[in-house]
Every structure is written in structure tokens, then in C-alpha cells.
Structure 1
Amino acid sequence: MDKVVATAEEAVADMADGASLAVGGFGLVGVPNVLIHALFERGVTGLRVVSNNCGTDGGGLGILLAAGKIARVTASYIGENKEFARQYLGGELELELTPQGTLAERMRAGGCGIPAFFTPAGVGTLVAEGGLPWRYAADGSVAVTSPHKEVRTFDGRQYVMERGITTDYALVRAARGDRLGNLVFHRSARNFNPLAAMAGRITVAEVEELVEPGVLDPDEIHLPGVFVQRVVELTPQQAADKGIEKRTVHA
């Protein structure tokens, strides 16, 4: 089945207000910027996002955030985005902070049909006991807190139960992909992208290089096409347009 869609705009055309979406990337690495821009232009709002972080000010998911299009974020990191912190502390945004490894496993579990799992991460903290501020009120008080989670003991060690995550959509970026949706990620872009793709019921992948079926060696495929429903081929200019989160120089 040829899964290639002509444009990014067409690929997200059925996404409605209030949709949930898992988004790949870490900082500005491996972020599906073209699809995010198409979603911004579409004007959908009230989005519920699952991603390691919410981009930077003016970059990645930060574009949707600054425009007030995101209502809730499940993430493991707030830093590098002052607007993210401002909206969260100002009561404009709901945030579920999750340990990074737990977030990764929650998406993988959801994609594998596993409803929940136990992990030692977070035992003895507010992650397990509940009470983390999910949303603040305008006066600075806590309006919504995280719930208490089940804790069990296995072989003398305590573990907290975490739920798998599935979303309406997933947006990811790959270095190479074929028309069947098989994807290859380049180096550190193979961060949350495969996991986010697994979590989405409808997964849209933007690929820097599109190849015909059979070109990719099965041993180099990082994500099989069964997890991908739509593929968008980037132009050379779009593929080369990659942000640098922190510039460093040396003499």
C-alpha cells in the first residue's frame, strides 16, 4: 500500500480541535517541523500533546504553544522554553511531568497494546504518591493535582504502576523512508520518534529521503511500516532546515 501523501497540509487535514498527538524529537533534534507548521496553519486548538519536551521559544512545538493551540502536555522536561514555563505557572496549560524513561516506555507500551506496567522510577516521590501540580489557578494556587498510583512489591522491591499511552495521531521525522512507511532515523533523531510513532493510531511521518520499496535493507529499518499510515516527502530545502538549540564555538 502506497502511503505517500502529496503535502504536509493534506496529511494533517483531518486533525480536529482537542486531538491528542504524540510528537517525536528531543530538543530540536528529530522534530517533525514541517508537519508542526502545517498543523499551525490549519488552526486547530485544544491539542493534547505527548512529547519529551515542548520545543523551544519559536521552535518545534513551541510554535503551537506560543499561539495558544496546546491545552495539555505530557512531558519530562520544561527547560529551554520560557513560554512553556509561563503558561504552566500562569494556569493556562495543564502539564503532566513524567520521568523520561517512564514516558518512553509508556508510549512503547501503548503501541504494543500493553495497558500498564510497573517501574521502580518514582517510587517514594509525588510521582507515585500523587499531588504533583498538573494545573495552577490564576491566583497561583494548585487547581489540579496528579492522582495516587498503585504501588506493588515484587521480590522485595517496590514498583509503581504506569499506564500505557495511545494518541489519536503521531507526528515523526525520519531520515529515510519508503512508500510502505518503513522508516530509518539518523543517529540521535532515533530518540522518541519510533516510540511516538508506535503510540499514534494515525501516524504521519515526514521523511528527508523517500525511496522505493525494497531499497531499504530490512536490517537497517528502525520502525516497520505497520506503525505508519501516512508519509510526506520533504523538499531538499525542508530536509536541510534544522535548528540548532545551543551554538558552541571553539578557536
Structure 2
Amino acid sequence: MKKVFKTASEALDGLLKDGMLIAAGGFGLCGIPELLIDALVASGVRNLTVASNNAGVDDFGLGKLLATRQIKKMMSSYVGENAEFMRQYLSGELELEFNPQGTLAERMRAGGAGIPGFYTQTGVGTQIAEGKEVKQFNGKDYILEEGIFADLSIVKAWKADDTGNLVFRKTARNFNPPAAMCGKVCVAEVEEIVPRGSIDPDHIHLPGIYVHRLIQGNHEKRIEQRTVRKREEA
């Protein structure tokens, strides 16, 4: 099966439809599938539900899809540094399903493992628990959280071979593996595609069985918050 495509638009061809659920990897600006997001913007697909830790910043990553009003609902851990995300949510223009960060990651991982739901103590007694089943285990309350089964996963990795085995670099590993697992179809963008067999099996973070399509591209290295010390006088 051919997995390598020339462009992000080609890799997404035939996969998009209005109203779909997309799981997007990354955290802030780290490890986000920026090229695939740009292709989603260009496609014009609308009424999307996007499961992602947050929506980056206003002019980059998922922030671009918010700016074009292509997202109707976010499933996220926090609003983050995106002013437009906050504005749309507070004005009632955007639906938002808050998830504790670990719960969101586990919901994705559970979906990828075929697990429809799991019980967790996180969120018990808070707004997170409203409307959810509560069950006791060993005398303690747990709430039922559902696994996420996305129509499409878009993720960013550092390296891949042509079979889709992925290696993530440092903190870019964050949400990318569970996001990749939970999609019916997973499209990954990488910085480098290497020959088959050249990646040590012990270094593979996500097996190619989860990855259906691949692109290689050039990526912008942004820093979300730059903090430096004042220069000391000589």
C-alpha cells in the first residue's frame, strides 16, 4: 500500500467532509501538524469538531481554522494563548468541551485501543462530572469517560519510514501518539522519510499500522513564549 504523498492536499484527498471529528496532535505550537492544518483551511471543509489539547495561537496552527470559522466545536484541555478561541467561546460562537489533560489523552488512547469508555476519579465533584455516570470502586467515586473515535487523525512526527513507522522528537511526542491511534484514518507529516528498515525497532514510538498516509515537508520552528534574562552589563 502506498502511504507517501507529495503534498498535504493530496494526502487529505477523499478524506474530508463537513461535520467530521478530527483528532489533532501537538501541544501549543510543539509538534503540531501545521501543513495538514493549512490544507484543511484551503479545502473549505466546515462544521468541524476538533479534539486537541488546545488551539495554539491566533495566526498559526488550529488558530487558522478558528479564524475562518471552520471549527464549530473544540474538545480541549484549555483555551491557552489564543485570543480568538477565547472570544468565540465567550460569545457563544464556538462550542467547547473541557477535558482534564490526562483524561483527554486517555480518551484518545482508549479510542485507539477499541475501548469505548473508562472510569476515572479526575473531575469527580466538579462540572466535569455533570451528566456523566458515577460508579463506586473500593468506596470511591469514579466518573465514566468515553473513548474518542475520530473520523480523521492529523499528527506531526520527526521521522518516518515509508511504511509509516513514526519517531517523535522530545516534547513533540506529547499528544501525537494517542491522537494518531484514535482516527479511522491517520495522516502524518514528518520532517524526514528514511529508507525502510533504517529505524531501530526499539526507537519507533508509533507503529506504521496506525498510519495510513504520509507527507514530508519543511516546518516553521516557532516559540510560543520566549523568556530571556536581561543582558548583564560588562
Shared topology, TM-score over 0.5?
yes
State the Cα distance separating 1:26 from its structure 2 match. Answer: 0.3
Paired with 2:64 and 2:19, the residues of 1 have a C-alpha distance of: 17
CA RMSD, aligned part only?
0.9
Paired with 1:179 and 1:53, the residues of 2 have a C-alpha distance of: 30
Which residue of structure 2 aligns with residue 56 of structure 1?
57
Unaligned runs of 5+ in 1: 131-147
Which residue of structure 2 aligns with residue 12 of structure 1?
12
Q: Which amino acid aligns with 1:98?
A: N
Q: Which amino acid aligns with 1:225?
A: G
State the Cα distance separating 1:13 from its structure 2 match. Answer: 2.1
Matches within 5 A, 1:60-209: 60-128=61-129, 130=130, 148-209=131-192
**Which of 187, 208, 225 is the aligned partner of 1:225?**
208
Which residue of structure 2 aligns with residue 145 of structure 1?
none
Paired with 2:91 and 2:13, the residues of 1 have a C-alpha distance of: 31
Moved over 2 A (4+): none
**Which of 221, 224, 227 is the aligned partner of 1:245?**
224
- Listed one character per residue, the Cα deviations across residues 77-133 of structure 1 (whole Å, up to 9, x for unaligned) are 1020110011011111110001000000000000000000000000111111x2xxx
Paired with 1:42 and 1:2, the residues of 2 have a C-alpha distance of: 23
Q: Which amino acid aligns with 1:247?
A: R
State the Cα distance separating 1:19 from its structure 2 match. Answer: 1.5
Partner SS state of residue 3, structure 1: coil
Which residue of structure 2 aligns with residue 141 of structure 1?
none
Partner SS state of residue 4, structure 1: coil
Paired with 1:79 and 1:218, the residues of 2 have a C-alpha distance of: 36
Paired with 2:7 and 2:66, the residues of 1 have a C-alpha distance of: 23
Paired with 1:43 and 1:2, the residues of 2 have a C-alpha distance of: 26
Which residue of structure 2 aligns with residue 216 of structure 1?
199
State the Cα distance separating 1:44 from its structure 2 match. Answer: 1.0
Paired with 2:164 and 2:19, the residues of 1 have a C-alpha distance of: 26
State the Cα distance separating 1:242 from its structure 2 match. Answer: 1.7
Q: Is the 8 Å Cα contact of residues 51 and 75 (structure 1) preserved in structure 2?
A: yes
Paired with 1:13 and 1:77, the residues of 2 have a C-alpha distance of: 31
Q: Is the 8 Å Cα contact of residues 56 and 80 (structure 2) preserved in structure 1?
A: no
- Listed one character per residue, the Cα deviations across residues 126-179 of structure 1 (whole Å, up to 9, x for unaligned) are 111x2xxxxxxxxxxxxxxxxx11111111211111000011001000000011
Question: What is the aligned-residue identity percentage?
Answer: 56
State the Cα distance separating 1:184 from its structure 2 match. Answer: 0.3
Partner SS state of residue 34, structure 1: helix
- Listed one character per residue, the Cα deviations across residues 198-250 of structure 1 (whole Å, up to 9, x for unaligned) are 0111100001010111011100000001111000011xxx23x1221011222
State the Cα distance separating 1:2 from its structure 2 match. Answer: 3.3
Aligned residues: 229
**TM-score of the aligned structures, taking structure 1 as reference length:** 0.89
- 1:2 corresponds to 2:2: yes
Partner SS state of residue 62, structure 1: helix
